[in-house]
Amino acid sequence: MKKSLLAQVYDPESFREQGHALIDQLADHLLENLGEKGGRAIAYRHPDTELAFWRSFMEDGKKEQLFPEILEGATKLHHPQCIGHQVAPPAPITALTAMIGGLLNNGMAIYEMGMSPTAMERVVTEVLCEKIGYQGHPGGFLTSGGTLANLTALLTARRVMLPEDVWNLGHGRPLGIMVSEEAHYCVDRAAKIMGLGEKGIIKVPTQANYAMDNALLEEQYRTATEAGIHVFAIIGSAPCTATGAFDDLEGIATFAAQKKLWFHVDGAHGGATIFSEKYRPLLKGIEKADSVIMDGHKMMMMPTITTALLYKNGDHAKLTFRQKADYLLSQSDRGDWYNAGKKTFECTKTMMSVHWYTLLKYYGTDAFNAYVTQLYDQGAAFAEMIGAHPKLELAVRPMCNIVCFRYVDQTLSGKAQNKQNETLRQALLENGEFYVVQTKLRGVHYLRITVMNPFTTKDHMAKLLHKIENMALAL
């Protein structure tokens, strides 16, 4: 008797067969790319070409080839020559935890819709708060990405630092936050979503190394307050995205205490540095922050997208989204830590805590120490190679695994040099042997790499520099 369509969709034996085949394909993908047998780091195709391919495949492609085609066309994050964006090559075991979350689909808005991952999340946030150095009764939760986490932290800051109940009553006076001019663009988005506008984002100029210039904090604060803006928070970048520069968090903490401001640290990329015995001094003062975020999918070997938002005072996590929804969010006088929907912007969210908990259980915090330290070491090594090259120039000596540099042809004008480096980057992208990205700093165009793969070596870097030089000569 033929199974119904829905019976076929949910058939356990079909899933078993497809799953075993896919695990074999993924394991082969790892072997090929970690062993550099898989060719290019990115098989770049023009967006219109890619769209045409998948339109055609929907009509004419064989379903058995679907997963192999996805693997073939994807950016190969596990390839040691994939040194582009700040996205981790996930630890293979997290592909299994992603599968668990995908199949069980426990949404976690309320405790009974995610009992295990809710308890796991509590354990994970306790580990992170301890590593930050928080004392007393800290707390936090996991949420979907740094953008949402930064927004939530600033909403908490507004709720705690202002006498009026802005969440329910709105606000009738100009509000503002202070942040580095090199901070991630999501901070601007968060401020504008909150109705602060351009005037409410007080951009603090940076030093030569692109870290916030703390010497200008007093002046920037005074200018804003004299303009009638009530500043309630200040944000430290750890690091800023473009250059990897870490702000002086301890200095910002001192200023925040003097002015009675909420001190938030955007550690989406570098928050995991708390685990590195060698590089933890970059985060000196982080334990004084009222809130901190860090991405699991950047420097902690997890798949996208998962971010921890942590509070020095755990009670603050419960204040941000106070509202009533009788069918879902019952009122409770107890410490209701287990109903995530009361604390997060999301109602439904993925079982992301399973990634964190599993890595900690299998490998411990030593794995994060090893990962962060290795990548930062390789960033420093790459910078040394660039510094020794007669045709290459660093934007700034890197503080972590983000390195900005450019090819310099002294016969060209500044504008022409920018164009040359932009052209070089596009040539590298289309060639695909390496994946690098680009940025513009103070009007100068730079190539930008982020070492995210612990198996990227000096040999790979030397090969990249040789390729850039040959391409520049050919172009």
Q: Residue 370: give the domain boundaries.
A: 11-91+365-475
> Do 386 and 465 meet the contact criterion of CB atoms below 8 Å apart?
yes
Section 200-222 average pLDDT: 97
* CA–CA dist 415, 213 (Å, integer): 28
Domain identity same for 347 and 203: yes
The β-bridge relationship of strands 262-266 and 230-237 is parallel
| pLDDT value for 166 | 81
Within-domain flag for 5: no
Tell me if 162 is assigned to some domain.
yes
pLDDT value at residue 31:
94
Pair (384, 356) in one structural domain: no
Confidence of residue 337 (pLDDT cuts 50, 70, 90): confident
Q: How much is the pLDDT for 169?
A: 78
Q: Report how far residue 253's alpha carbon sits from residue 290's, in angstroms, rounded to the nearest whole number.
A: 9
Q: Which two tokens stand for residue 283?
A: 């985060």
Determine the Cα angle at 278 with ends 274 and 281, to 5°.
Answer: 55
**291 with 158, same domain?**
yes
| CB-based burial label for 32 (10 Å; 0-12, 13-18, 19+) | middle
DSSP letters for 4-22:
PHHHHHT-HHHHHHHHHHH
For residues 301 and 4, give the distance between their C-alpha atoms in angstroms, rounded to a whole number: 41
* For range 46-63, the mean pLDDT: 96
pLDDT at 331 over 70: no
CATH code at 26? 3.90.1150.170
Any domain includes 196:
yes
Q: What is the pLDDT of residue 411?
A: 87
Q: What is the average pLDDT across 72-95?
A: 96
Q: Answer whether residue 265 is part of any domain.
A: yes
Q: Do residue 396 and residue 348 come from a single domain? A: no
Mean of pLDDT over the chain:
93
Task: With a cut of 70, say whether residue 162 has pLDDT above it.
Answer: yes
Can you read off the two tokens belonging to residue 422? Answer: 């932009």
What is the per-residue pLDDT for 404? 97
Sheet holding 307-311, edge to edge: 139-143, 307-311, 291-295, 262-266, 230-237, 175-180, 201-204
Domain boundary among 313, 338, 363: 363
The reported pLDDT for the residue numbered 38 is 64
* Domain contains 1: no
Cα-Cα end-to-end distance for the chain: 66
Model confidence at 322, pLDDT cuts 50, 70, 90, reads low
Lowest mean pLDDT among 105-109, 206-210, 334-338, 399-403: 334-338
| Same domain (yes/no): 433, 464 | yes
Cis peptide bond N-terminal to 100, omega within 30: no
Last residue of a domain, one of 363, 382, 411: 363
Quote the pLDDT of residue 326.
44
> What pLDDT, on a 0 to 100 scale, did the predictor assign at position 321?
75
Question: Does 23 have pLDDT greater than 70?
Answer: yes
What DSSP line would sit under 180-242, residue for residue? Answer: ETTS-HHHHHHHHHTT-TGGGEEEEPB-TTSSB-GGGHHHHHHHHHHTT-EEEEEEEESS-TT
In a domain, 100, yes or no: no
- Tell whether 325 and 390 lie within a shared domain: no
- 388 and 407: one domain? yes
Is 242 a residue whose pLDDT tops 50? yes
- Do 169 and 241 fall into the same domain? yes
Same domain, 150 and 234: yes
Specify whether 63 is located in the same domain as 166: no
**Residue 256 included in any domain:** yes
Angle between helical axes of 47-60 and 66-73 (0-180°, round to 10):
170
394 and 471 part of one domain: yes
Q: How far apart are CA 85 and CA 439, in angstroms?
A: 11
Per-residue pLDDT reduced to its tens digit, 133-151: 999 999 999 999 999 999 9
What percentage of the chain carries pLDDT values higher than 70?
97
**Token code pair at residue 152:** 């939530």
Residue 61 vs residues 14, 21, 247, 279, 319: alpha-carbon distances, Å? 20, 18, 51, 49, 51
- Among residues 323, 341, 363, the one where a domain terminates is 363
Residue 287 forms part of a structural domain: yes
Q: How many residues does the chain have?
A: 475
Q: Tally the domains of the chain.
A: 2
Which CATH number characterizes residue 250's domain?
3.40.640.10
Window from 23-37, 118-132, 378-392 with minimum mean pLDDT: 23-37
State the amino acid at position 239 in one-letter form. Answer: P
Do 129 and 54 belong together in one domain? no
pLDDT of residue 339 exceeding 90, the answer is: no
